[in-house]
Each structure stands twice: as C-alpha cells, then as structure tokens.
Amino acid sequence: MKRQDAMPIGEILRNLLKTQHLDNKLDEMKLIKLWPQIMGQTIAEYTQRIYIKNGILYISLTSAVLRSELLMCREMLIKRLNEEMGTPLVKDIIFR
C-alpha cells in the first residue's frame, strides 16, 4: 500500500529551513564558501575575512590596490554574486 501524501525528503528539508528562517543564512554560508571559485584563487588569497550581515557583504582585503579595483566594479560584483546564488542575497559590498 502506497501513501498518497508522501513528500520527497528534499522538499521537506527546504520547507523546514524556510519555516525556521534558516534558508537565507544557508545561502550566505554557501556564498562565503564559494568565494574562491566565483572570484578566482588570486583574489581569494588576498581575502582575509568575509561575512554577510543584513544583506551587506563585508570583505577584508590585504591589498589596497585590489580593494580600489574591486570598489570600481562593485555593482558588477553584486550582480555576479546574486546571479551565481540565484537569489538577491547581496545588496551592497563594503571592502576593508
């Protein structure tokens, strides 16, 4: 006898994450983990710290030259990161 109301486990987990408001936090952690792949290994080597708070991505860099270069293309980076994640996760970027 097969149950008619059975749901796939993936759908159950997505619903649980959404109801507990953890889906956004999970996406933030995924973005941080994918930073080297999205931006490249060279930029990742100059990145000391990266975190997201209230939709703002904070990035600490060891190179002032790289910081100024990334500042000039901030809007393009926001668009690229959001496209990669498939959701408007990043509203702004602050380079330190």
- pLDDT of 75 reads 96
- Tens digit of each residue's pLDDT (9 = 90 or more) over 4-51: 778 888 888 888 877 877 778 888 999 999 999 999 999 999 999 999
Per DSSP, 59 falls in state E
Question: Are the beta carbons of 56 and 93 closer than 8 angstroms?
Answer: yes
Report which of 28, 37, 31, 50 is spatially closest to residue 95, judged by C-alpha positions: 50
The structure's pTM equals 0.81
At residue 1 the predicted structure's pLDDT band, cuts being 50, 70 and 90, is low
Domains assigned to the chain: 9-95 (3.30.300)
What's the rounded Cα separation, in Å, for the pair 51 and 73?
Answer: 19
